[in-house]
Amino acid sequence: ESGEARLDQWISVRRNVLEDYRRAFGEEPGDIVAVGIMTDYGDRGAEIQRRYEAASRLRELRPRSAWALAHCARLLYSRDPADAEALLDRAASLRPDAGWIRAWRGEIRSRGGRPGALEDFDASIRLTPAYAQAYAWRAAARLREPGSRSGASRDADRALALNPSLGAAHLVRASLLAE
């Protein structure tokens, strides 16, 4: 929902989260360990602190859940990238068949300029070829590599073929056009 047509109005939204999950990650979901509802009311500091607290609690409750560890890593990335990467290492060891975990770790490595990002994206795509986000993140990582424009372009095109509304892939395409 965007624009001002329904500004200051409550709206109801229904989603099939099972189908959303399958489309996003290209696999069946694991057990539900938590349900979260997020709202934006303008107090970013308090929201971020709650995220860290939730991640710490989830880590304590589900230390052997790859899903929980991976989501903790995503929540903790901005505070402690090394801890986030370590959590994703653990999650990948628990679920070596989960391509989305490898893609998330690749994205964290790529953002931090750490080695292994492209290898993680390659593994993710091998494991879950329909995960559009992995192609988009690999495309963005390739933009930072000298001489990788054609690979970045191919990855962005593949991501958009899988998910035409994927913003990350559109940003890569725009970056390629701007050069």
Rounded to an integer, the average pLDDT of 45-69 is 65
Q: How do residues 12-53 score in pLDDT, each as one tens digit?
A: 777 887 788 787 777 787 766 555 555 554 555 566 566 656
Question: Look-up: residue for tokens 């349900």?
Answer: 35
Please give the Cα distance from 108 to 44 (Å, whole number): 22
Contacts of 131 (CB under 8 A, 6+ apart): 24, 25, 26, 99, 100, 103, 124, 125, 162
Rounded to an integer, the average pLDDT of 113-137 is 95
What pLDDT does 134 receive?
A: 96
What pLDDT does 153 receive?
A: 94
Alpha carbon 19 to its chain's center: 17
What pLDDT does 141 receive?
A: 95
Nearest alpha carbon to residue 80 among 104, 46, 119, 112:
112
Q: How do residues 78-124 score in pLDDT, each as one tens digit?
A: 778 888 899 899 999 999 999 999 999 999 999 888 899 999 999 99
Contacts of 59 (CB under 8 A, 6+ apart): 68, 69, 72, 87
Please give the Cα distance from 10 to 68 (Å, whole number): 31
Alpha carbon 143 to its chain's center: 18
What pLDDT does 60 receive?
A: 64
Please give the Cα distance from 83 to 57 (Å, whole number): 15
Higher pLDDT, 75 or 101: 101
What pLDDT does 135 receive?
A: 96
What pLDDT does 106 receive?
A: 95
